[in-house]
Structure 1
Amino acid sequence: MAETQSTQAQRKAANEVFIGKKPLMTYVTATLVQLANEPTVTIKARGLSIARAIDVAQIIVKRMNSLGYKISDVRLGSEQMQSQNGKVRNVSTIEIDISRK
């Protein structure tokens, strides 16, 4: 049973793209590569990277509409994080699921 859970955890991590500070098309390419192998890919971001995650999703859905992808789900949330000066802050998060039509 432990093997099954670790396999599921690896598969879950395999279809996630975390948005950071790299160029936008890097994340678009990474997402498209994942979509070639998986039916659904989750784009995740938090804080100031949320706008970039939305841009990545829109590029895939709108500009590459001939490939037949759609946004299947969007989840918003927040996480509590400790800042460098020791204060606890709430940071917004977003998860965008992209799948084939």
Structure 2
Amino acid sequence: MADEMNVANDETRTEEEGRKTNETNIVYIGKKPTMNYVLAVVTQFNNGMNEVSIKARGNSISKAVDVKEIVINKFLTDVKQKDISTASEELTNEDGSKSKVSSINITLMK
């Protein structure tokens, strides 16, 4: 029985590590200063990533575009924009009402 639990724990750990590995090349833009996110993107590329996604919603979209421009024009001139996609996401507010929020996903590649 102990062996079965160890196998289950190993499988869970492997799944969690897989999720972390798959999502390490995503930088979510929020309320921190722009250069924090620029550093995060540059670090991802310096750690061997060939692609990095920059994701943002709502008022942070303009900051995501700024991050992309700073990375490409000032820090990593060999990095190119691969894709930009936009969408609308429906969120439920605290009071139960629903509202739509714009989102952007910018993919950069070496």
TM-score in same-fold range (> 0.5): yes
Distance (Å, rounded) in 2 between the aligned partners of 1:97 and 1:82: 27
Unaligned runs of 5+ in 2: 1-10
Partner of 1:54: 65
Larger gyration radius, structure 1 or structure 2: 2
- Is 1:28 matched up with 2:31? no
Question: What is the DSSP-based 3-state SS (H/G/I as helix, E as strand, rest coil) of the residue aligned with 1:31?
Answer: helix
Partner amino acid, structure 1, of 2:19: A
Q: Alpha carbons of 1:8 and 1:73: their partners in 2 closer, same or farther (altered >3 Å)? A: farther
- Deviation of 1:7 after TM superposition, in Å, equals 4.9
Question: Deviations along 1:49-94, whole A, 9 cap, x unmatched?
Answer: 00000000011112235x4111101111111101233220011110
Percentage of pairs with the same residue: 34
- Is 1:64 matched up with 2:71? no
Aligned counterpart in structure 2 of residue 42 of structure 1, from 43, 48, 53:
53
Question: What is the DSSP-based 3-state SS (H/G/I as helix, E as strand, rest coil) of the residue aligned with 1:28?
Answer: helix
- Is 1:87 matched up with 2:97? yes
Runs of 4+ in 1 over 4 A off after TM superposition: 1-8
Partner amino acid, structure 2, of 1:98: L
TM-score between the two structures when normalised by the length of structure 2: 0.79
Normalized per residue, the structure richer in strand is 1
Question: What is the DSSP-based 3-state SS (H/G/I as helix, E as strand, rest coil) of the residue aligned with 1:21?
Answer: coil
Partner amino acid, structure 1, of 2:63: R
Question: What is the DSSP-based 3-state SS (H/G/I as helix, E as strand, rest coil) of the residue aligned with 2:30?
Answer: coil
